[in-house]
């Protein structure tokens, strides 16, 4: 009989990847990119490069997840590959930043779009209410949360398909075309392009989401790589087409520096009469993203609670398999960030931290191949070693320029990591002392 913990089907796992990926980033980051790279061609190339990098990451995680089919994502991988301290840092960052901050960002974007569609609405209140209601949904039952997630994500996919078709049907699109000068081509290699990749990497983040619930997927050695592959491929195609629509429908100069690029594009396509309805549908898409991250993130905290005695309360689940305390803590962090943080600062901070630990995980593919060559690998990364090497090269280039161009969020990330390392040492010391006391008794 199927283990009761295996509650997430291949379809639901794939839908979860799509739901995590398609959210705040694609509707909000193009304006920031255009403010730096200026050329529409360069902006589209950002999304193409981002797609390639995300796909390389998904293939690399497919190998790791098939070898270590335990919920927790990077926490599980880095603990085994490097050291429990590194796993703890990754897991803690996932709780505080990897999911808490993106949930806050999606809720902030939801509030912003709600305010545009319905002037006078309290945007902060909308953000907080969305987090609270969706938290309650996922506290009910794992299967119920999956069904809720599937319905909203399928609706989101239909929304995006309709938006793309309508956008390409515009009678007088803006000209993008191929670059007409060496300056447009050269912009791909400048620092602003590298920083723009941070926004794109945030938009593509979520390609690894099914790895966080591997322990709840039947036959994870097979279904986990498939869900990563299909979800990432589908979203990559959608992202490139969506950004083409944005640039076809609104002049690049009007989008530069703006957050609500989806709203501006919808206004150009549907006019004043249809823009409110379209904005409402975008809000529903963002709800799907918030829901998926509320579902996935607590599995990291739960896995940490299984390994660290002091955090054992995070591992406790109710009779229906829901890690209640982990969900409540994560949602509380998200609410605090939504009420106190600046959108652009949080976006850069999240991009830096997520990329840093995902690079360490992908590097682990090389380390395990060298250190444990005879270890059973149900799935092997296609194109090894070029695929993981490309992922590491592009992201390392991006991180270097990010430290130079955006030092404050980068420094804040390093301070966070250092603080968590101190916390880990204190927890392990406390755990050792507790063990000694129990042995003396």
User: Where do the structural domains in the chain lie, given as residue ranges?
Assistant: 10-425
Residue 263 belongs to what H/E stretch?
helix 261-296
Q: How many CB atoms are located within 10 Å of the residue 407 CB? A: 10
| pLDDT value of residue 387 | 96
Q: Do 267 and 275 contact (CB within 8 A), yes or no? A: yes
CA–CA separation, 260 vs 383, rounded Å?
38
The series of mean pLDDT values per 10 residues for the chain, 441 residues long, is: 59 88 77 80 87 94 91 89 89 78 84 79 90 89 78 84 88 66 55 76 84 87 92 93 90 82 84 72 81 84 82 78 85 86 63 82 95 91 94 87 74 79 82 69 59
Residue 333 CB partners (closer than 8 Å, separation 6+)? 95, 96, 100, 104
Helices (H), 311-406: 324-340, 343-371, 386-405
| pLDDT value of residue 253 | 83
| pLDDT value of residue 385 | 94
Ramachandran angles phi, psi of 170, nearest 5°: -60, 135
Give the domain 10-425 fold: Amino acid/polyamine transporter I (1.20.1740)
CA–CA separation, 20 vs 229, rounded Å?
14
| pLDDT value of residue 58 | 94
| pLDDT value of residue 3 | 45
pTM: 0.81
| pLDDT value of residue 240 | 92
Per-residue pLDDT tens over the stretch 259-268? 778 778 888 8
| pLDDT value of residue 6 | 59
Per-residue pLDDT tens over the stretch 59-83? 999 999 999 988 888 899 999 999 9
| pLDDT value of residue 437 | 67
Distances (CA, A) of 18 to 51, 158, 196, 208, 338: 13, 13, 22, 10, 23
Residue 275 CB partners (closer than 8 Å, separation 6+)? 117, 263, 266, 267
| pLDDT value of residue 344 | 60
Among 130, 101, 141, 112, smallest CA distance to 7 is for 141
CA–CA separation, 55 vs 53, rounded Å?
5
């Amino acid at each position: 009989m199927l283990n009761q913990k295996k509650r997430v089907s291949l379809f639901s796992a794939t839908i979860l990847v799509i739901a995590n990926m398609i959210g705040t980033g694609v509707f909000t980051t193009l304006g920031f990119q255009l403010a730096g790279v200026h050329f529409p061609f360069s902006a589209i190339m950002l999304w193409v490069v981002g797609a390639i990098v995300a796909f390389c990451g998904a293939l690399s995680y497919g190998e790791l997840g098939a070898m270590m089919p335990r919920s927790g994502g990077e926490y599980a991988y880095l603990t085994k590959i490097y050291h429990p301290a590194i796993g703890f840092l990754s897991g803690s960052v996932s709780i505080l930043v990897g999911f808490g901050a993106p949930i806050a960002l999606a809720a902030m974007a939801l509030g912003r779009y709600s305010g545009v569609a319905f002037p006078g609405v309290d945007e902060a209140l909308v953000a907080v209410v969305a987090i609270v209601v969706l938290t309650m949904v996922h506290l009910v039952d794992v299967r119920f949360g999956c069904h809720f997630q599937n319905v909203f994500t399928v609706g989101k996919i239909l929304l995006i398909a309709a938006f793309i078709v309508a956008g390409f049907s515009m009678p007088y699109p803006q000209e993008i075309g191929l670059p007409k000068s060496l300056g447009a081509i050269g912009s791909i290699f400048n620092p602003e392009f590298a920083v723009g990749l941070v926004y794109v990497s945030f938009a593509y983040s979520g390609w690894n989401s099914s790895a966080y619930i591997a322990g709840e997927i039947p036959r994870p050695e097979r279904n986990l790589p498939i869900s990563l592959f299909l979800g990432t491929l589908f979203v990559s195609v959608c992202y490139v087409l969506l950004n083409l629509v944005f640039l076809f429908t609104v002049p690049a100069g009007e989008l530069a520096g703006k957050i609500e690029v989806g709203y501006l594009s919808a206004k150009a396509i549907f006019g004043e009469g249809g823009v409110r309805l379209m904005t409402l549908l975008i809000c529903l898409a963002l709800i799907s993203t918030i829901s998926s991250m509320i579902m996935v993130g607590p599995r990291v905290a739960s896995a940490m609670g299984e390994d660290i005695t002091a955090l054992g309360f995070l591992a406790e689940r109710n009779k229906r398999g829901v890690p209640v305390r982990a969900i409540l803590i994560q949602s509380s962090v998200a609410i605090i960030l939504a009420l106190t943080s600046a959108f652009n600062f949080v976006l850069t901070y999240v991009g830096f931290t997520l990329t840093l630990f995902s690079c360490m995980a992908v590097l682990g593919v090389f380390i395990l191949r060298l250190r444990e060559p005879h270890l059973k690998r149900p799935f092997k990364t296609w194109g090894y070693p070029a695929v993981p090497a490309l992922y590491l090269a592009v992201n390392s280039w991006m991180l270097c320029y990010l430290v130079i161009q955006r030092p404050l969020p980068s420094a804040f990330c390093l301070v966070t990591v250092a603080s968590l390392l101190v916390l880990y040492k204190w927890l392990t010391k406390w755990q050792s002392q507790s063990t000694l006391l129990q042995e003396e008794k």
